[in-house]
Amino acid sequence: MSGRRHHGGPLTVLVLLLAVDQLSKLWVRAELALYESRQIIPGFFDLVHYTNPGIAFGLLADGDPGWRRFFFIGATVLALILLAVLYRHVRYQGRLYLYALALITSGALGNLLDRIRLGEVTDFLDFYWRDYHWPAFNIADSAITVGVLLFFVATWRHPPEEPQVDKVV
């Protein structure tokens, strides 16, 4: 069976997650004022409207916005190139690798589109318990996190095979 047959599912997941990410962020920006919150599950989960000009947990959010935007767009493009190289290496190593890379790529693209259009990423999922709040995040962040975890599981279960090199005897 050709490895190419396995690529339709991961590609569909990538496109659907990217669409859900962008549509959910569009909805949040349209329905909630900046910093507004709507309680969904009391004591556990709210929808909020935050923006993040930095990276995870707001790191590197300070400084010159022009430089920061250029840096994060460039870093994401570099990450996408590395993901393409990684895909070429593991594309026939199993479906779990393909789904993991699809999730990571969809998340990277979702946040990249925000940075290009808005200069910052829209975050809106706020989980908490009592006074402890996990930093707000979005669908793209979730896809990246789950994708990285799946990639580690795939590597643990089925380490990538090294390409065969013909030896001259």
Q: What percent of the chain has pLDDT over 90?
A: 67
What is the predicted pLDDT for the residue at 136? Answer: 93
- Is pLDDT at 57 greater than 80 in this prediction? no
Residues with catalytic function: 123, 141
In this predicted structure, the answer to whether residue 49 has a pLDDT above a threshold of 60 is yes
Q: Is residue 146 part of a domain?
A: yes
Tokens coding 154: 């795939």
Range of the domain at 152: 3-157
Please check whether residue 75 is in contact with residue 69, taking contact to mean a CB–CB distance below 8 angstroms: no
Residue 164 lies in a domain: no
- pLDDT number for residue 131: 87
The C-alpha atoms of residue 106 and residue 101 are separated, in whole angstroms, by 8
Give how many domains the chain has, as a whole number.
1
The predicted structure's pLDDT at residue 8: 84
Residue 66 placed within a domain: yes
Whether 115 shows a pLDDT value over 50: the answer reads yes
Give a yes or no: residue 165 inside a domain.
Answer: no
Which tens digit of pLDDT belongs to each residue from 65-91? 667 778 889 999 999 999 999 999 888
**In-domain check, residue 168:** no
What is the rounded average pLDDT of the residues 122-129? 96
In a domain, 169, yes or no: no
**Whole-angstrom distance, CA of residue 86 vs CA of residue 169:** 31
- For every residue of 98-133, DSSP letters joined together read HHHHHHHHHHHHHHHHHHHHHSSEEEEEEEEETTEE
pLDDT in tens, 28-40: 999 999 999 999 9
pLDDT at 24 > cutoff 50? yes
137 assigned to some structural domain: yes
Task: Tell me the whole-structure pTM to 2 decimals.
Answer: 0.85
